[in-house]
Copies of this chain bind each other. A is one copy, B any other.
Amino acid sequence: MLSYPWTALVTVAALILYFVVTLNVGRARFKYNVSPPAISGNPDFERVFRVQQNTVEQIVLFIPALWVFSLFVSQIWGAALGAVWVIGRILFAWGYYQAPEKRAAGFGISSLVTIALLLGSLIGVGLTLYQTF
């Protein structure tokens, strides 16, 4: 069996965060009275919506990079970096809920983690292929 419990734990944490920011869009639709399919018109709603959209955009990159890094470099380092990503995304979301300019710190932290996971994955996979020949 493929057993990467720390990587899986960080994955579940990231998915729960994503689930919460998605629930918040539904609540914001009700609170600010923005009925589907409308996605704009109220700046407070738009911020909540953009948090979720941005989280989709980033989690799509994060989860595959986290697993490739864990498989080809290190599970423990992958999970540790991934935990920082989750914290950064929490700061991003609750910052952006307050004001667009408060999203920068969390966004920066998570972006650095993503770059580290991507570069690490590229090196780890490259070394694995190199050792095959």
A interface residues, Cβ below 8 angstroms from B: 1-3, 5-6, 8-9, 11-12, 15-16, 18-19, 22, 35-39, 43, 46-47, 49-50, 52, 56-57, 59-61, 63-65, 68, 71-72, 100, 103, 114-115, 118, 121-122, 125-126, 128-129, 132
Contact = CB atoms under 8 A, between A and B. Distances in A.
B125 A19 contact: no
Contacts of A3: 71, 128
B5 A128 contact: yes
Contact of A37 (B50, B56, B128): B50
B68 A125 contact: no
Nearest to A57: B56
B100 A36 contact: yes
A111 to B, nearest CB: 9
Contacts of A46: 37-38
A34 to B, nearest CB: 12
